[in-house]
């Protein structure tokens, strides 16, 4: 998922340099949404990992 975030950020940078403001804003929005989703998934996995630890 982080690969997609970097891909959309690079796409936004290239579009911004070339003057495609519509593509730029769309790519930034998609990268931001993917970043939020990735952070939520990381937090959920950390919380689930701490609750599921067992000692033998």
For the record, the structure tokens of 22 come out as 């519509």
Q: Is the pLDDT of residue 56 over 60?
A: no
Provide the mean pLDDT of the chain.
84
**Could you tell me if 35 and 5 are in contact, meaning their C-beta atoms sit under 8 angstroms apart?**
yes
pLDDT of residue 55: 59
Domain ranges of the chain: 2-46
pLDDT of residue 33: 92
Could you report the per-residue pLDDT of 28-55, keeping only the tens digit for each? 899 999 999 999 988 988 888 865 555 5
In a 3-state reduction of DSSP, which class is residue 33? helix
Please give the C-alpha separations between residue 29 and each of 46, 48, 54, in angstroms, as whole numbers: 26, 29, 40
Global pTM reads: 0.68
Q: Show Cβ contacts of residue 37 under 8 Å, excluding neighbours closer than 6 positions.
A: 1
Rounded to whole angstroms, how far apart are CA atoms 2 and 20?
A: 24
């Amino acid at each position: 998922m982080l690969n997609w975030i970097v891909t959309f950020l690079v796409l936004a940078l290239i579009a911004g340099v070339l003057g495609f403001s519509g593509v730029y804003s769309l790519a930034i929005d998609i990268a931001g949404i993917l970043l939020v989703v990735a952070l939520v998934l990381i937090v959920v996995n950390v919380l689930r990992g701490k609750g599921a630890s067992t000692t033998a």
